[in-house]
Amino acid sequence: MVKLLISGRVQGVGFRPFIYNLAHKLGTKGYVCNVGGQVEVVLEKAHLEAFLKELDNKPQEAQITAITQEPTATLDTPFYIAPSCGVDLSLKDSLPPDLAICESCLKDTQDPTSRFYNYPFTACAHCGPRFSLLESLPYDRPHTSMKDFQLCEDCAKDYNDPTSRRFFAQTMSCPKCPIALHFLSPQGIERQNALQEAIDALKAGVVVAIKGVGGFALTALATNKEAIEQIRTLKARPFKPLALMVPSLQEALKCVHLSPPELTALSSKEAPIVLALKKTQEYDHLAPNLNTLGVLLPYTALHFLIVQEVGAIVFTSANLKSEPIITNLKDLQAKFPHICVLNHDRPIMHGIDDSVVRLVAGKMRLVRLARGFAPLHLPLSAPENILGMGGHNKTNLCWLKEGCLVTPELGGFKSMASLERYKEDLSFYTKLYGVPKVVGLDLHPGYLSSQVGKEQNAPTQEVQHHTAHLHALLAEWGLTHTFKDGQSVLAFICDGAGLSYAKSIWGGEVFLATYQKGFFKTEHLHSLETTFYPSSTSLLKDAHSLGYALAYQHHLAFAPLLCESTMAKNLATIISKRIATIPSTSVGRLFDAVAGFCSVGTINTYEAQSAMQLESLATTHPTDEFYPFEIQEDILIAPMLKAMERDILSENYALAAKKFHNTLAHIALGLSVRYNLPLLLGGGVFLNRLLGDTIQEIFKDRVFFLPEILPPTDGALALGQVHFVANSLKGSHASC
């Protein structure tokens, strides 16, 4: 007989039931079981070839990264599922992500003859929450927060029936062995008929906090502006776009334009929020001053049962500004007292937000790497156990050794609550993967992630922010392209802010990376022309102050129109004397400043607010024209600003906004032409759809690359850090 050890995403996806049924179809003896994070199969050698061939028909969500085989002793038992055994986990083993409810389960919840009719937690071996309720591996009920829920007779029968979709379904429950729902009034009083109470409250325009897969969401009837204002007040988010949960694809199509890739993403197992172009003004109050709206479909029976009765609801993570998503009732009631709550009894082990995606340059890109997509496993390896600590926004962790794991992004990282959640995450993964040999962290000493990194019992290596972006791009590009010796690529990183080696702020950087003998030599080639911006945190958020600072330094005639005279005088003084200012090459700040010029700039109450408003304005103008620029040692923006002056003075704001976007796309093209190399694009700026689409249009056959499996944002930094450290372990000390 032969023993196989199968690695990859093979737990929590209905893999053992699949193997069991396959083995019985083939008529082999043997067994299957979970071992650590892998699956072990013993079968007769005579059936091996047919077995391996049939593995192609594995469950849709399963992914196999490696199969090893060895001879083993003869076994004379009909094929069975053996108890799991735990061995040390490796980074090759996948942590199963949370999956949206499958079509069959959804049908069950709508079928009056099914015992799952109207049951909010219907799931099977192929769908439902996984990671959010996982305590450890192997993926079995005793290792999840379902461990205290006993299966009823019917469920036990399904669990043991190889012909059932719920054969070996670890998180199954039904109305006879239910996860109970509880509706609490604003006074904390529990009411009967929890689901109906929540539906009635939502219909009446009341805000309800609903416990879901990875945490609580604040929800309200989407057309009720008062309730939405209440949510904005609760979250201290006056303008931030809020997502819309719609009952069906047909309903989504009434609100937004959806191309085939967007439709596919919306109804995928990952069930992310899709940022799509608005079709009507009906939901403008959810995403004020923007041309996009985030939509998502219900991804559990609970959410489905609610929206099919209520209609579209606003759906946003329950968290205070800069804090992580709330996962338990106690915290919810402490932070949002006096609201209605729909709670349930299944504990959440890992708080996780909804993922967000957006179509840019023809493909779906990740805005937020979270539920459904993460933990993300990548087939990368390194000789040592390396940990990446991430950055300051969109912080996550990355582990690299036999395999590579990127954790879900933490919502915000500017509070004690988020620091605690980050440390909890860190200790969960350290238990699984051991203490790292080297820790990669951002160069910025003020980042909490860097500080926590230095507290680990391991040597640390500082990685410059944009160099980490570069390495994240190299890692992802390398998964689909084989690097040959001497081969080079160019990278253009545009984002908000990262500390440079010279302690200035970078954010518009061009790098060259050359592959040689197994590692990359990298070189910093260009920066965007430096601007001095005020260093105060409040002024840095104000597009008009930034606009004034930029206009003043370039002697643009409209500078005095950008802010009132006392402010202008103060800004002029600090800039000319270079006090309380910071030299910056940031493209993010350039966007803010130009938004200030174009009258759509504001005091940013959420990240990239002015930039997104500028993008929305730009899409209203059809021009292909762009402003002049020069690529010398720096990328000079002075010619662009001088040419823009006329358009701003004549108040042609949409034209100026569009020409500005076109200019950035042409700078990217100029770099590609000058070096005649593939151009990798990274940094949050490249979530700008207009910019990405324009680049796609003007590049024609020239090669450019935008990340697809990682976000271009700081959510990729942890991966970049481990890739950088692994690269330097291989011998490259020529860093940039």
Would you name the residues annotated as active-site residues? Answer: 16, 34
Give the bridge partners for 257, in sequence order.
Answer: 277
Q: Which is nearer to Zn ion, 127 or 706 (CB)?
A: 127
Q: Which is nearer to Zn ion, 59 or 261 (CB)?
A: 59
Q: Which is nearer to Zn ion, 176 or 423 (CB)?
A: 176
Of residues 35, 48, 50, 152, which one binds Zn ion by CB under 5 A?
A: 152
**What is the nearest approach in angstroms of Zn ion to the Cβ of residue 111?**
13
**What is the nearest approach in angstroms of Zn ion to the Cβ of residue 49?**
32
Give the interface segment with Zn ion, choosing from 167-175, 560-568, 601-609, 685-693 (CB under 5 A).
167-175
Residue 32 is a binding residue for Zn ion (CB under 5 A): no
The angle that helices 194-203 and 301-310 make with each other, rounded to 10 degrees, is 40
Residue 638 main-chain phi, psi, to 5 deg: -55, -45
**What is the nearest approach in angstroms of Zn ion to the Cβ of residue 172?**
7
Give the interface segment with Zn ion, choosing from 19-27, 169-177, 585-593, 625-633 (CB under 5 A).
169-177
Residue 179 is a binding residue for Zn ion (CB under 5 A): no
Q: Which is nearer to Zn ion, 125 or 341 (CB)?
A: 125
**Total residues interacting with Zn ion, rule: CB under 5 A:** 9
CB 123 within 8 A of CB 346: no
Q: Which is nearer to Zn ion, 151 or 265 (CB)?
A: 151
Continuous segment of H or E residues that includes residue 660: helix 653-675
Handedness of CA 599, 605, 609, 611 (dihedral sign): positive
Give the interface segment with Zn ion, choosing from 66-74, 148-156, 289-297, 543-551 (CB under 5 A).
148-156
Residue 174 is a binding residue for Zn ion (CB under 5 A): yes
Of residues 1, 99, 124, 726, which one binds Zn ion by CB under 5 A?
A: 124
Burial class (CB in 10 A: 0-12, 13-18, 19+), 445: exposed
Residue 157 is a binding residue for Zn ion (CB under 5 A): no
| Residues in contact with Zn ion, shown as a per-residue x/- string from 534 to 553 under the rule CB under 5 A | --------------------
Output the CA–CA distances (angstroms, integers) from residue 191 to 182, 194, 201, 308, 425, in the order listed: 7, 6, 12, 22, 35
Alpha carbon distance 328, 343 (integer Å): 9
Residue 556 is a binding residue for Zn ion (CB under 5 A): no
Alpha carbon distance 394, 418 (integer Å): 11
Residue 176 is a binding residue for Zn ion (CB under 5 A): yes
Task: Dig out the tokens for 705 from the structure.
Answer: 């690359």
Residue 271 is a binding residue for Zn ion (CB under 5 A): no
CB 341 within 8 A of CB 219: no
CB 236 within 8 A of CB 230: no
Please name the residues in contact with 723: beta carbons below 8 A apart, sequence gap of 6 or more. 380, 400, 471, 472, 474, 475
**What is the nearest approach in angstroms of Zn ion to the Cβ of residue 144?**
16
Q: Which is nearer to Zn ion, 122 or 355 (CB)?
A: 122
Of residues 4, 62, 105, 669, which one binds Zn ion by CB under 5 A?
A: 105
Q: Which is nearer to Zn ion, 115 or 702 (CB)?
A: 115
**What is the nearest approach in angstroms of Zn ion to the Cβ of residue 353?**
23
Give the interface segment with Zn ion, choosing from 166-174, 254-262, 292-300, 445-453 (CB under 5 A).
166-174
**What is the nearest approach in angstroms of Zn ion to the Cβ of residue 102?**
3
Residue 127 is a binding residue for Zn ion (CB under 5 A): yes
CB 2 within 8 A of CB 71: yes
Task: Dig out the tokens for 564 from the structure.
Answer: 């009132």
Which of 660, 637, 672, 433 is closest to 528 using CA atoms?
Answer: 637
Residue 155 is a binding residue for Zn ion (CB under 5 A): yes
**What is the nearest approach in angstroms of Zn ion to the Cβ of residue 125?**
7
Alpha carbon distance 580, 154 (integer Å): 70
Of residues 177, 580, 638, 698, which one binds Zn ion by CB under 5 A?
A: 177
What's the angle, vertex CA 625, arms to CA 658 and CA 276, rounded to 5? 35
What's the angle, vertex CA 195, arms to CA 189 and CA 201, rounded to 5? 65
Task: Dig out the tokens for 429 from the structure.
Answer: 């993964």
Give the bridge partners for 400, in sequence order.
Answer: 386, 404
**What is the nearest approach in angstroms of Zn ion to the Cβ of residue 304?**
12
DSSP-derived 3-state class of residue 340: strand
Please name the residues in contact with 532: beta carbons below 8 A apart, sequence gap of 6 or more. 549, 553, 575, 578, 581, 582, 583, 584
Give the interface segment with Zn ion, choosing from 145-153, 212-220, 307-315, 506-514 (CB under 5 A).
145-153
Handedness of CA 718, 719, 722, 723 (dihedral sign): negative
| Residues in contact with Zn ion, shown as a per-residue x/- string from 74 to 103 under the rule CB under 5 A | ----------------------------x-
**What is the nearest approach in angstroms of Zn ion to the Cβ of residue 267?**
15
Task: Dig out the tokens for 445 from the structure.
Answer: 């000493």
Q: Which is nearer to Zn ion, 100 or 228 (CB)?
A: 100
Q: Which is nearer to Zn ion, 99 or 719 (CB)?
A: 99
Binding site for Zn ion (CB under 5 A): 102, 105, 124, 127, 152, 155, 174, 176-177
